Structure 1
Amino acid sequence: MKISQFSFTISLLFFTFCTLAQVQETKTANLMGSVFQITIVDKDSSSARENIQKTIDEIERIENLISEWRPETQISQVNHNAGIKPVKVDREVFEITKKGILFSKITNGAFDISIVAMDRIWIFDDSMEKLPSKKSIKKSVENVNYKNIVLDSINSTIYLSKKGMKIGFGSIGKGYAADKGRQLMQSLGIKGGIINAAGDISTWGTQLDGQPWKIGVNNPFETGETIAVLAFSTDKAVTTSGTYEKYAEIDGKRYSHIINPKTGFPSMGITSVTIIGENAEMCNGFSTSILVLGLKKGLNLIKKYPEYEYVILTNEGSVIRNF
């Protein structure tokens, strides 16, 4: 009887040890034209590698639905049939398009998924020496207007009513992919992880040692310094949109690569916008929109959504935050 009890005790201790013996694994992959970094806390290295690959497969699945660069995707088919006919799409594609149009409506067009149809008259490789003409700027956005995107919810179709139009999800697609990766991992029982989709970050749970995930918001005016450090131990997302990495400098003035889809002119006044919320897709929509809207209108927008926090860095170096 004593031997039996002893065996049971050893088995129980072994089971407990195996349950607690977890690992934290990270992998970097080129996905959706950007660098993704995926970190998860799992029971062992083999399981972690397998689950990270499942996350990569999920992100690639999304890219194969919404990429405007791959000719076989549903979004490419929508663009190809602009001004011709509606295209039936998966419900998932329909819903992300619907979300893009929602942002267009609440920002009065400062955010617009049809901006991918804009003529590329601005060049951000240091070769641009003078501003485009007012006429060319005006003409560049002729095919940009979210109001010409026609959704049919019953038939799950998307129709671009003007020939030459295109839609794309460069602004919210990576955040959406990060959120879907997190959702998949949670459904498989992974208790903690962080997916960094080229700056669109989705987190859940904690690190292996129980510490929260920590994310620094860079200060582009001071190399190596941060303007805020964020710590998350629950489902959270954070995205940063900035004007400081890609820009054209003409006559001593910087013009950012973030273009106002209504005017065709680069956004001005704000250096970076960081948004914190529950999902990266929404956060990215807000961060991009605020850059385009400018400080006053941008603050007016985000204050209508108190569940989202923000860190805004102005061109003068002022930091505005609500946490």
Structure 2
Amino acid sequence: MRFFCWFLFLIPVLAHGQRQEFFHPQMGTLFQVILYAKDTVQGKTVAQELFNHIDTLNALFSDYVEESEINRLSASAGTGQKVKVSPEMWRLITFSQKIARKSNGSFDLSIGPLSKLWRRAFRQSQFPARSEIEAARAKVNYHFIQRYPLSKKIRLAETGMRLDAGGIAKGFAVDECFKILRKAGISSALVAAGGDIRVGAVPPGKTAWIIASKGLNGKGETVDVELSLEHQAVSTSGDTYRFLDWEGQRYSHIIDPHTGLGIQHRQFSRLTGPKATLTDALATAINVSNEEERKILMKKFSRYKLEVYESKD
């Protein structure tokens, strides 16, 4: 999940395109779109197409939607059934499995049993029983997600498995929006979904998209920082705001698949690179990794830049 707000310091410019801004609530956040279209009619038409597609993706990927595709797939776990999935689901699972392999499971789409357990813990402000944590953790393993490329089918091998796309779906949706923007001939645009953002070509009359974010100074204090971006995505993840205090210990909503526990180190990370799908998922993987594991992981994604901020609060 993402919780950092992004603000854009851009003056409207009408030359070579008209700046238009649109908002749409979905996936537990507010999608923001800024685009430079040839006129207001094109801008509104394209924005509506983007939001319709985001709604469709939510219906596929959200485990909060009872009849979503991801829930129907999870219901097949342990039955031996190979389930034909949509092209979008196939791409999302393929991306997820790539990151899972390269992160040694620090990012894991099969985190669902632990996600469900910890969501209840946060609602009730009650630490889960150790037996519940271990039972859920036993069902979390990306190796249990079996792909069949020729038929585009998925088999979930373990009974009780649940998929949770919360660590990648927003970034995936942002990248999907850029496919629609390119098809419409719009090159200068921004799409943001909470802490996941991607920008295209620089707006008319500007040298970059200037994004206001948060960082930490040498004293561990939160300070404002500015990012200058062009044709890049950026995702921010951390435990700064959402956590459970229990018996003097603090557990983040970001769950380590290896331990079954919310992470306890105080930090947030920022990933910058070409695609929001990867920055979104990598930001989560980084937060459950130690320093050496981060270095190894980032060598596998050389086009992506990592910044990690350790809080001293």
Q: TM-score range by the shorter chain?
A: 0.7 to 0.9
CA contact (8 A) 2:221 2:312 kept: no
For residues 165 and 118 of structure 2, the distance between their equivalents in structure 1, rounded to whole angstroms, comes to: 20
For residues 69 and 34 of structure 2, the distance between their equivalents in structure 1, rounded to whole angstroms, comes to: 30
For structure 1, the 5+ residue unaligned runs are: 1-18, 318-323
Distance 1:121 1:269, change over 3 A: closer
Residue 127 of structure 1 aligns with which residue?
Answer: 125
For residues 290 and 166 of structure 2, the distance between their equivalents in structure 1, rounded to whole angstroms, comes to: 20
SS of structure 2 residue aligned to 1:312: strand
For residues 73 and 247 of structure 1, the distance between their equivalents in structure 2, rounded to whole angstroms, comes to: 27
Distance 1:193 1:141, change over 3 A: same
The more displaced of 64-73 and 29-38 is 64-73
1:40 aligns with 2:60: no
For residues 49 and 222 of structure 1, the distance between their equivalents in structure 2, rounded to whole angstroms, comes to: 41
Match of 1:266 among 249, 262, 266: 262
CA contact (8 A) 2:298 2:304 kept: yes
SS of structure 1 residue aligned to 2:117: coil
The more displaced of 286-295 and 300-309 is 300-309
Q: Which one has the largest radius of gyration?
A: 1
* Shift, 1:266, TM fit: 1.7
Residue 227 of structure 2 aligns with which residue?
Answer: 230
SS of structure 1 residue aligned to 2:288: helix
CA contact (8 A) 1:201 1:280 kept: yes
For residues 268 and 72 of structure 1, the distance between their equivalents in structure 2, rounded to whole angstroms, comes to: 34
Instruction: Deviation per CA, 1:3-55: give whole Å up to 9, x if none.
Output: xxxxxxxxxxxxxxxx9463211111111222111111112223212211111
Distance 1:270 1:183, change over 3 A: farther
Q: Aligned letter for 1:207?
A: P
Match of 1:100 among 85, 96, 119: 96
CA contact (8 A) 1:82 1:163 kept: yes
Instruction: Deviation per CA, 1:250-294: give whole Å up to 9, x if none.
Output: 344322111111211122334101000000000111110010113
Percent of aligned pairs with the same amino acid = 26
CA contact (8 A) 1:268 1:294 kept: no
Q: Aligned letter for 1:232?
A: L
Q: Aligned letter for 1:154?
A: L
Match of 1:202 among 198, 207, 216: 198
CA contact (8 A) 1:273 1:287 kept: yes
For residues 277 and 126 of structure 1, the distance between their equivalents in structure 2, rounded to whole angstroms, comes to: 38
For residues 146 and 247 of structure 2, the distance between their equivalents in structure 1, rounded to whole angstroms, comes to: 42
TM-score by length of 2: 0.86
CA contact (8 A) 1:23 1:208 kept: no
For residues 162 and 294 of structure 2, the distance between their equivalents in structure 1, rounded to whole angstroms, comes to: 26
For residues 271 and 16 of structure 2, the distance between their equivalents in structure 1, rounded to whole angstroms, comes to: 35
For residues 73 and 132 of structure 1, the distance between their equivalents in structure 2, rounded to whole angstroms, comes to: 27
Match of 1:253 among 249, 254, 274: 249
For structure 2, the 5+ residue unaligned runs are: 1-13
> CA RMSD of the aligned region, Å?
2.2
Q: Aligned letter for 2:303?
A: E
Length, aligned pairs only: 294
Residue 284 of structure 1 aligns with which residue?
Answer: 280
Match of 1:111 among 101, 107, 113: 107
Please give the residue correspondences for 1:35-184 in structure 2 after superposition, counting only pairs within 5 Å: 35-84=30-79, 85-118=81-114, 119-121=116-118, 123-124=121-122, 127-128=125-126, 131-184=127-180
Q: Aligned letter for 2:150?
A: I
For residues 153 and 159 of structure 1, the distance between their equivalents in structure 2, rounded to whole angstroms, comes to: 12
